[in-house]
Amino acid sequence: MPAPFLLMDQRHGWRRHVHAGLILWSKGHFSNTDDAALAAALAVSWPLTDTAAGDLMRHTHGHFALVAESAGQVFAAVDRIRSIPLFYAGEPGGLALSATPARLLSHCGLESFNQTAALSIAMAGYTIGRDTLYDGLSQLGPGEFLRVDTTGRITRHSYHRYTPWHTTEHSTASWHSRLAETTRDILQRLAADLSDRTIAIPLSAGLDSRLIVSGLADLGIRNVKCFAYGLPGNFEAEASRQIAEHLGYPWQFVPFTPKSQRAFARRDLYRDYLAFADSACATPVVQDLPAILALRDNGFLDPDAVVVNGNSGDYISGLHIPAALRTTPHDPDPIAARDHVLDAINEKHFRLWDALATPTNLQRIKQRLATELSALPPEALTPGGRHGAYEALELQDRQSKYVIARQRIYEFLGLDWRLPLWDDAYLDFWQSVPLAQKAGQRLYRDMAQQANWGGVWQGTAWQFPQRVDPAWLRAPRQLLRLAHAPFGKQRWHRFERRYLSYWMDVFAWQAIVPYRQVIADRRGARHLVAWHTEAYLQSKGLTYGGTPA
């Protein structure tokens, strides 16, 4: 049997290390080992058994992907959140593996679309489970590894699963101290790891980036720079400036306008980035690409800077748990529990376009989600665990494929990154927090307020209520809202999304589509991601609904 074919090279952060005939490809960072030590450990245990591979990965921490090959065998793994993806496909000679879907598609001649995956992208912006947009193209999910032996046999296993239904009980005071201690420990390790490198933080009015920057300030870390971007004068940027100035950190702002974003989207660099970030399983994230580029080019971010964003504190701390799952039901029926969770996911995430949310489409998605839900243990669907089942599926799909993929922006521009709020210690902590403490971010918010790191949490000066930007739109919007009052909230929300959201988009990314096209459209776009998803599918020769054009 021919050896597996690895389409790997030393670009965009991938490294190659050789030890005793074993070749290790790695990307990202390890928090408790390095390439040399890991390659040596693999060589000693080679050829790996599934048990040995699982044990090794459970003791390897950080955000990484790796591929090892020796004597015709291959081992590949991603971290617990799939922060760096890996893809593979079958070919006549065996398995082909790469970090870049496009290379596999070309090498293996894959052209047929997975219609359910295409529909999922169209409705949510990402695929479900192991699906990719193409038949025959597979991917490793969070906490998974695969092995290929000399016969060409592929085995694939999960060495870690996020299990937020396995909760424990402590007093409220104990939870506060545990969360504060865990967060401080993560930030201390981050600062020690980066030493004197610039820590660049995209800072907003929200909780997550503020928690990171204020925690670093409380620890006395000074090699920090902050920045914001978006519409000039937007409230997120104003809050960012006030926080950074109070903490004594340098701060810069990069303005976005509809005109500037339209111009940026016409650049070759933008098209090159979309090709680089194409994962064949989610719409590419573009949010801060122009800002990072501008700050790198003007010297605010030096080449050795490390971007540290707040992904994804809002998810892991419980904000994403839908209202329908924030109370413990009395019904123990597992079938009702399954439908409860599936309906919550469908309603929350598979609504990019009103026109696609048909009973037929929603049922197709529900059936596909049900397959993933069935892979969870029975306790995930007990009355006290249903919120955890929801969270587990969101991490597997939306978070790992779409939200965390924002790191591709930094890699594309040659910058390193870290994700402290996705640290393994945070995963361990938050999966144990009971629903009563997690729902609505109760524990997260209370701890931040009580700790008051950096003095940027307590008092009205540090409360930043959301407001409508730009300022010129506030008065007309209020008048229009009053005019729609007799017709109900739903009609007002539809009107606002169609006619006003284009201008209220703080990042101005909806401007990739002309305003006249937006207001003439009858399909009911939920927000800017709908338009970017349509553009992504069109680049593949598909309609906005995922069908062949």
Supply the pLDDT for residue 453.
98
CB atoms within 10 A of CB 329: 15
Tell me what the pLDDT averaged over the chain comes to. Answer: 95
Contact 383, 330 (CB under 8 A): yes
Tell me: the pLDDT tens digits for 53-80?
999 999 999 999 999 999 989 999 999 9
**Domain definitions of the chain by residue range:** 5-158, 172-317+403-462, 325-397, 471-539
Tell me: the pLDDT tens digits for 339-378?
999 999 999 999 999 999 999 999 999 999 999 999 999 9
Q: State the DSSP code for 548.
A: B
Question: What radius of gyration do the chain's Cα atoms show?
Answer: 23
Q: How confident is the model at residue 93 (pLDDT cuts 50, 70, 90)?
A: low
Strands 251-255, 137-139: pairing is unpaired
Tell me: the pLDDT tens digits for 419-460?
999 999 999 999 999 999 999 999 999 999 999 999 999 999
**What sections of 266-403 are H helices per DSSP?**
268-276, 289-297, 313-316, 334-349, 359-374, 386-394
CATH tag for 172-317+403-462 (out of 3.40.50.300, 3.40.720.10, 3.40.50.620, 3.30.590.10): 3.40.50.620
Tell me: the pLDDT tens digits for 216-266?
999 999 999 999 999 999 999 999 999 999 999 999 999 999 999 999 999
Share of the chain above pLDDT 90, in %: 93
Supply the pLDDT for residue 3.
58
According to the CATH classification, is domain 5-158 in 3.60.20.10? yes
Q: Using the predicted structure, report yes or no on whether residue 106 has a pLDDT greater than 90.
A: yes
CA angle, 334 then 337 then 342, to 5°: 125
5-158 shares its CATH topology with 172-317+403-462: no
Q: Using the predicted structure, report yes or no on whether residue 92 has a pLDDT greater than 60.
A: no
Q: Using the predicted structure, report yes or no on whether residue 1 has a pLDDT greater than 60.
A: no
Contact 465, 344 (CB under 8 A): no
For range 203-216, the mean pLDDT: 97
Q: How confident is the model at residue 332 (pLDDT cuts 50, 70, 90)?
A: confident
Supply the pLDDT for residue 90.
80
Of 289, 312, 271, 171, nearest to 230 by C-alpha is: 289
Q: How confident is the model at residue 91 (pLDDT cuts 50, 70, 90)?
A: low
Q: For the whole model, what pTM was predicted?
A: 0.96
Residue 94 forms beta bridges with which residues? 91
For range 460-485, the mean pLDDT: 94
Contact 213, 187 (CB under 8 A): no
